[in-house]
Amino acid sequence: MIDLRSDTVTRPSQAMLAAMSAAEVGDDVWGDDPTVLKLQATLAERTGKEAGLFFPSGTQSNLAALMAHCARGDEYIVGQAAHTYKYEGGGAAVLGSIQPQPIENAADGSLPLEKIAAAIKPIDNHFARTKLLALENTIGGKVLPASYVDEATRLARARGLSAHLDGARAFNAAVASGRPIADICAPFDSVSICFSKGLGAPVGSVLVGPRALLDVAGRWRKVLGGGMRQAGLLAAACLHALDHHVEGLARDHENAERLAAGLAQIEPIKVLSQATNMVFAQIPETHCASLEAYLKERGILMQMLYASRFVTHRDVSRDDIDTVIQAVKGYFAR
Ligand SMILES: *Cc1c(COP(=O)(O)O)cnc(C)c1O
């Protein structure tokens, strides 16, 4: 199947499986799994942070980070469209007793500075304590402008807030903008990075940041059920991805551009945006279900919605993109 539903669908390669089966392991709850320790140290070094902490998912990594930055009755500022706010089951509020203060994202994914400033509450018993600004990069595939990130995090710091990045796809941002991953992470205290997206590992996220903050996050990880034992098997896949899969993200971005250009030629599809490995397109509602079924019969998985998202990844080749474009053309030519 050619699966464009998400970049989470990648299968581990033979080389990745070999790295996993050769991994030296220990018990990571006891802190003695050498492969987990190596992954944490390697990513901390690459991102320019003091330490790293391995998690089973990005949702848990973000949540433990929010719980380390904010206590019960504190507040974090976040985008309406942000994963930590919209797509993580409300975990910050439900499990962390942290009040989200959502702000409408601008079209480029940023949170307008004046809205951030206005949302920060004075120290007063009426209000939750505003403790953290959380941004996401990439967001909807878009790379946040570096100058914006600098200004927003400087504003947060000037008002006594910390800054967290949901960097699930921070490597896509780095590759697309030609900047080192450490530059993308530098303005933030903590960053959560996913290995199960474009980097192609089956499982895993790493939170990087100051050791003292990660000590607190590590306790919450245990409380949240994320203490894993011979986790080196999984960390080995992530280390393999760091060594072998980062540069390939550029090819995913080219394929998304090719897909967007191809779809834009097809009446009545309207391509809304393309950035890094994501394409957003409008499919007339009357066609969504039948087009999706037509493509599935031809070995293509695409979720068709009025505003559809198609995602490229390392298991989709340039030829696959051409196959998809031809199939969609075929459907509308009937
Ligand atoms: C995928 C994703 C996460 C984490 O998701 P998990 O499925 O829990 O690993 C967090 N933020 C963004 C932006 C994501 O795309």
Contact call for residues 96 and 84 (beta carbons, < 8 A):
no
pLDDT value at position 144?
98
What is the CA(54)–ligand 1 centre distance, in A? 14
What is the CA(38)–ligand 1 centre distance, in A? 23
What is the CA(15)–ligand 1 centre distance, in A? 25
* Phi, psi dihedrals of residue 38, rounded to the nearest 5°: -65, -45
Q: Classify burial at 104, counting beta carbons within 10 Å of its beta carbon; exposed 0-12, middle 13-18, buried 19 or more.
A: exposed
pLDDT value at position 306?
84
pLDDT value at position 106?
98
Atom of ligand 1 nearest to the CA of 166: 11
Q: State the Cα–Cα distance between residues 63 and 74, nearest whole angstrom.
A: 14
Predicted structure pTM score = 0.98
7-43 per-position pLDDT tens digit: 999 999 999 999 999 999 999 999 999 999 999 999 9
Nearest CA, atom 6, ligand 1: 58
Nearest to 56 by CA among 190, 163, 207: 207
Atom of ligand 1 nearest to the CA of 59: 8
233-246 per-position pLDDT tens digit: 999 999 999 999 99
Mark the ranges of the chain whose per-residue pLDDT is less than 70: none
pLDDT value at position 102?
98
Question: Burial letters for 123-154: b for 16+ Cβ neighbours within 10 Å, e otherwise?
Answer: eeeeebebbbbbbbbbbbbbbbebebbeebbe
pLDDT value at position 315?
98
Rounded (10°) angle between helices 34-47 and 232-244: 40
